[in-house]
């Protein structure tokens, strides 16, 4: 009888485990969405560590024409679950980009079978 009176309320989909809380320009210490070409940014969040052998894994800057530039391994200076420090290439044109982080990282000891991504707008200055 009590099971028949049970009500189920669906609150929505579970949020993605990946999360970006802050993007900090290491030159100015500002969190204004600007990234210095030839300089560094620190990204703070959750589940950000870039690992996995799938082709799409990596850190990418995508311009308004959908041309993507993948950062090299040596341009990822810190690669932790809660923090990435990236060196932005100096040879990219200033302007609006999408920063895309794709990983197979999981907080368990096992890599995800399917990579997941998070994207955020960023401006190269």
Nearest to 98 by CA among 122, 81, 66: 122
% pLDDT > 70, the chain: 87
- Say how many C-beta atoms besides its own lie within 10 A of residue 34's C-beta: 17
Q: How far, in Å, CA of 47 to CA of 39, rounded?
A: 24
Q: What is the mean pLDDT of the chain?
A: 90
What domains does the chain contain, in order, with CATH numbers?
Answer: 19-124 (2.70.50.70)
pLDDT digits (tens, 9 = 90+) for 59-85: 999 999 999 999 999 999 999 999 999
pLDDT tier for residue 17 given thresholds of 50, 70 and 90: confident
Q: Which residues contact 34 (CB under 8 A, 6 or more apart)?
A: 25, 28, 122, 123, 124, 125
pTM for the full predicted model: 0.85
Q: How far, in Å, CA of 70 to CA of 92, rounded?
A: 11
């Amino acid at each position: 009888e009590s099971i028949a009176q049970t009500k189920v309320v669906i609150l929505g989909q579970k949020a993605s485990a990946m999360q970006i809380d802050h993007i900090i320009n290491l030159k100015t210490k500002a969190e204004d969405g600007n990234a210095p070409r030839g300089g560094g940014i620190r990204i703070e969040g959750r589940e950000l560590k870039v690992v996995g052998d799938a082709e799409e894994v990596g850190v990418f800057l995508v311009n308004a024409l959908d041309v993507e530039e993948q950062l090299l391994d040596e341009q990822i200076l810190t690669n932790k679950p809660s923090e990435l420090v990236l060196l932005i290439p100096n040879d990219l044109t200033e302007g609006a980009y999408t920063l895309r982080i794709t990983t197979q990282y999981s907080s368990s000891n096992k890599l995800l079978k399917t990579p997941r991504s998070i994207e955020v707008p960023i401006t190269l200055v």
